[in-house]
Structure 1
Amino acid sequence: MEKCSIVITVYNKYRELNLVLKSLEDQSYKDFEVVIAEDCQKKEMLDFLKDAKNKYSFSIKHVSQEDVGFRKNRILNKAIKATETDFIIFLDGDCLVHRNFVKNYMKEAENYDVLYGRRVELSKELTNKILMENPDYRIKFLDILLTKSENSWEALYMPVWINFKKRKLRLLGSNMGVRKEVLYNVNGFNEEYIGAGIGEDSDLAWRLESCGVRHKCLKNTVVQYHLYHSRSTRHNSVNGEKIITRERMLNRWRTINGLEKI
């Protein structure tokens, strides 16, 4: 299996990010680099990464941008350019992963252009337990059930017999893997989306599907645990529905405001 890149988007939650890196250190598959995509540009991140680079066995790169609002797609494009491998896995900085997460992505990467999973939304109670016992706590499925975490069955690890048929591409930005040449084919993420939760994932999904990419859902195979947090206060500043409706009407699957500015 080939080497891959893992792009982690983060704002300023260093304690959560350290847990994500810890879950990557525990991976059964070790051949990867990490790119931290920071939408904040604070000195605290530089200090944190200086320590992390000595603490963890994998290489860590860092790209950042000034904090002038939620511009996740812009920093993602910057991170893509910083990667040195042909396959990229995307994570959020508050999403821990199962120890076979990377291995299961890379087992399928030879046959598919786009892979994606889902995530369990950990309860506030369980999240606090994990943060308090960092780094010794190991997430248990029973704890997830008992604390009534949302989408708890997404945490059930079943890589052997789960075999989903081809379906409509439904990406989750915190748990997806895409071949780099495919990302360049659609010109990466559309930077016109500058707000949280306004359709940037669905925008990329329909553009990729328009190209006829080979894709597969890895639900219950690439298991991910999303730490609880209150909803973002970095509100949408652009109507995402209007953007995606316009782009679909124009059939513009290669965005004009992406990795390259057309």
Structure 2
Amino acid sequence: MNLANASVIISTFNQPHWLQKVLWGYEAQTTKDFEIIIADDGSDFQTKKIINDFKASSTITVHHIWQPDEGFQKTKILNKAVLQANSAYLIFTDGDCIPRNDFVETHLKLKQPHCFLSGGYFKLTDSISKAITKQDIDDQNCFKWGWLRARGLKKTFKVNKLSAFGFKAWFLNTFTTTKATFDGMNVSGWKKDILEVNGFDERMQYGGEDREIGERLMLKGIRFKQVRYSTVCLHLYHERPYKNLEALLKNKAIRKQTRRSRQFITKHGIKKLSQVE
């Protein structure tokens, strides 16, 4: 069996129209040597149809990992997706982030041993998110400032994420004040490192659930490198009804305990451990 160079793990929950645009983005990649694993936290039949239609028309291998909807359980479905991955190198992203056509190629080109790559996203408004068509993605127009400006987007420093290449991208990545962390919408690294920290902590709800595994990876000695101006994706607009204060406080307490204990293996991950040795 020939293994792909990367497994792209896409988390999703009941955003079929956004997921469709994201999958179009992966169909447009400059390299096709990757598989897609869709980590589905309980979506209904509409998402399944989008995925099946894409699989029928694409040459990219797609695995759909689904679990019943029991509230926000993203960490659980991500652990299942990690186990399903056939590649040694994993790229994590979300089902509302359209990748630029060099997204996978750039992650692979910049990968290093004992290192995770920390990307970012370029946020879009609701109207622009809805306006993007398959043709816009195929032609890469939606990643161009002129196209976005014509549709009402205001210019800020963040436009550099779309226009930085070569030395400019290196300079901005190197000297940005934004800390390199595990941001689940755009991060990549090695499957063996994820397994060695026992994956995501399944107690975590929305809010910092990805940062927590990043903190444990750092405790293990993994370096995080900033690539936010090189690995580009567009973040489609959506509300966050699952956000709540109780979950945020619980997550904050778990992260605080992780830092205090300095244990990089969670008891509540892929393998349920009675104790951490």
TM-score over 0.5 (shorter chain): yes
Q: Quickly say closer, same or farther: Cα 1:236–1:7, change in 2 above 3 A.
A: farther
Aligned counterparts of 1:150 and 1:91: Cα–Cα separation in 2: 24
Distance 1:168 1:212, change over 3 A: farther
Which position in structure 2 is the counterpart of 1:94? Answer: 96
1:124-181: CA deviation from partner (whole Å, max 9, x where unpaired): 2211211xxx212230223435412777325324231132449954221100001001
1:144, 1:150 → 2: CA distance?
12
Letter in 2 for 1:45: T
Instruction: Report 1:184-203 matches (<5 A).
Output: 184-194=195-205, 196-197=206-207, 199-203=208-212
1:142 aligns with 2:133: no
Aligned to 1:21: 23
Q: CA offsets per residue over residues 86-130 of structure 1, 9 Å max, x none?
A: 000011001001111111100022445311211111012211211
Q: Secondary structure at the match of 2:166?
A: coil
Is the CA contact 1:169–1:205 (under 8 Å) kept in the aligned structure 2?
no
1:115 to 117, 130, 133: 117
- CA shift in 2, pair 1:200/1:28, >3 Å: same
User: 1:47-58 alignment to 2 at 5 Å?
Assistant: 47-58=49-60
- Which residue, out of 174, 192, 200, partners 1:181? 192
Please state if 1:230 is matched with 2:239: yes
Count of paired positions: 257
For residues 232 and 201 of structure 1, do their structure 2 counterparts lie closer, same or farther at Cα, with a shift above 3 Å needed? same
Counterpart check, 1:159 vs 2:170: no
Q: Secondary structure in 2 aligned to 1:156?
A: helix
Q: Which residue of 2 aligns with 1:256?
A: 267
User: Residues 120 and 151 of structure 1 are in contact (CA less than 8 Å); yes or no, is this contact kept in structure 2?
Assistant: no
Q: Distance in 2 between matches of 1:91 and 1:126?
A: 20
* Maintained 8 Å contact 2:35/2:62: yes
* Cα offsets for 1:30-83 (capped at 9, x unmatched): 100000110115333333322111112200001111111101111000000011
C-alpha distance in structure 2 between counterparts of 1:240 and 1:106, whole Å: 31
* Higher share in helix: 2
Task: Give runs of ≥4 in structure 1 deviating > 6 Å.
Answer: none
How far, CA to CA, are the matches of 1:77 and 1:151 in structure 2? 36
Distance in 2, matches of 1:147 and 1:117, equals 22
Partner of 2:67: 65
What is the deviation of 1:7? 0.5
What secondary structure sits across from 1:66 in the alignment? coil
The TM-score normalised by the length of structure 1 is 0.90
Aligned residue identity for 2:79: N
**Which stretch of structure 1 is more off in the superposition, 70-79 or 40-49?**
40-49
TM-score normalised by the chain length of structure 2: 0.85
Q: Can you give the 5+ residue segments of structure 2 that lack an aligned partner in the other structure?
A: none
Query: SS state of the match for residue 136, structure 1?
Result: helix
Structure 1 unaligned residues grouped into runs of 5+: none
Q: 1:79 aligns to what?
A: 81
Confirm whether residue 210 of structure 1 aligns to residue 219 of structure 2: yes
The CA RMSD measured in Å over matched residues stands at 2.2
- Secondary structure at the aligned position of 1:22 is classed as helix
Shift of 1:236: 5.7
Residues 112 and 246 of structure 1, relative CA distance in 2, 3 Å threshold: closer
